[in-house]
Homo-oligomer: A and B are copies of this chain.
Amino acid sequence: MTGPAPAARRESTVIIDCHGHYTTVPKTLHEWRRAQLAGENPDPAGPAISDDEVRASIESGQLRQQRERGADLTLFSPIAGQMGHHLGTAADSVLWSRVCNDLIARVEALFPDNFVAVCQLPQSPGAPIDACVEELERCVTELGFVGCNLNPDASGAFWQTPAMTDRSFYPLYEKMCELDVPAMIHVSGSCNDAVHHTGAHYINGDTTVFMQLIQGDLFKDFPDLRLIIPHGGGAVPYHWGRYRGLALDMGREELEDGLLRNVWFDTCVYHQPGIDLLTSVIPVKNVLFGSEMIGAVKGVDPRTGHNFDDTKRYVDGAAFLTDEDRAAIFAGNARRVYPRLDAKLRARGR
């Protein structure tokens, strides 16, 4: 043991859930969006939501569960399923993103110890990426956000947009590198009756993007770009042999030597065997603790008596992980992938 003593390490470890959405947002936000999409031109400043309403929506939901489960801080972003990039116009998307992101900034302002803001981007099928670059810059430089969510299928489960390795995304990647913020790759809702939102589209999105990255050369052009693939990397760790084999068949490097310099997976996998596989197949340095709480699966597993999405238990329960591994998954890796988060925490002595 050459590192700090366990007691010292524990003292400085802030348990970071890298994946939370504001799913408990007051309903007035949904009403505002409905009005926007109906062409009723709601107040461009967004719905009137008081600080007390924000507090109540957080305290009874995410904050309570964060505390109950033993996490300290959540990287918090607007509801992924409501980004709805396939809905409305590009201009609608710009305004909607500002409204949603501003609300996230208010959550962080009210609960700076518990939530750190991550933004949605105003993508829109076929629209240039410029609006996303602008909104990212606004959120990071003016509001102190530490990352963004980037949708690989702005067509809502019809996959009618280019791969994420397409040059049309490059201005955004340039800005991400300049600002030193990562993106979580996260689809939004499915408008496709054949493709369930959280049960198919989310997981498929993760899987599809990983394969796009194997095919492309994105990280040659952006060696410092950092992408988090959520939901445990979709199907990828379970099929790690398939992806290694496909990559090698294509003359690519071993994934551990190539893509995993730039790609991380979260732990949004809702049972112990899944987390055991994830953490045994994927190098620990590439795994970030995440729960997506309160999100896709809200119930309690009758076999364990705990919420399916209480993923901290599974990481705690992965028997072969060392304390150092857990510290990396719960805290260290996130601070490395989100340097602006690390800077915030350091500034507060955490």
- Nearest-neighbour CB distance to chain B for A245, whole angstroms, equals 3
Query: Could you tell me if B159 and A241 are in contact, using CB atoms closer than 8 angstroms?
Result: no
Counting chain A residues whose Cβ lies within 8 A of the other chain, the interface size class is 35 or more
Contact with B along A232-267 (1 / 0, CB 8 A): 101101111111111011000000000000000000
Contact with B along A263-288 (1 / 0, CB 8 A): 00000011101101100110000000
Query: Could you tell me if B269 and A238 are in contact, using CB atoms closer than 8 angstroms?
Result: yes
Interface centre among A161, A208, A301 (most CB of B within 10 A): A208
- Nearest-neighbour CB distance to chain B for A318, whole angstroms, equals 13
Query: Within the complex, which residue of B152, B207, B241, B302 is in contact with A203, where a contact is CB–CB below 8 Å?
Result: B207
- Nearest-neighbour CB distance to chain B for A192, whole angstroms, equals 5
Is A163 engaged at the interface, CB distance under 8 Å to the other chain? yes
Query: Could you tell me if A297 and B203 are in contact, using CB atoms closer than 8 angstroms?
Result: no
Is A24 engaged at the interface, CB distance under 8 Å to the other chain? no
Is A160 engaged at the interface, CB distance under 8 Å to the other chain? yes
Query: Within the complex, which residue of B157, B245, B280, B296 is in contact with A299, where a contact is CB–CB below 8 Å?
Result: B245
What are the residues of chain B within 8 A of A241 when measuring CB–CB? 269-271, 274, 297, 301, 308
Assembled-state Cα–Cα distance A302/B194 (Å):
39
Contact with B along A63-94 (1 / 0, CB 8 A): 00000000000000000000000000000000
Query: Could you tell me if A245 and B232 are in contact, using CB atoms closer than 8 angstroms?
Result: no
A277 (CB) vs chain B CBs: closest residue: B277
What are the residues of chain B within 8 A of A235 when measuring CB–CB? 203-204, 207, 234-235, 238
- Nearest-neighbour CB distance to chain B for A286, whole angstroms, equals 15
Is A215 engaged at the interface, CB distance under 8 Å to the other chain? yes
What are the residues of chain B within 8 A of A162 when measuring CB–CB? 193-194
Query: Within the complex, which residue of B194, B215, B239, B271 is in contact with A196, where a contact is CB–CB below 8 Å?
Result: B215
A198 (CB) vs chain B CBs: closest residue: B246
Give A contacts to B, CB under 8 Å. Answer: 152-153, 157-163, 192-196, 198-200, 203-204, 207-208, 211-212, 214-215, 231-232, 234-235, 237-246, 248-249, 269-271, 273-274, 276-277, 280-281, 296-299, 301-302, 308-309
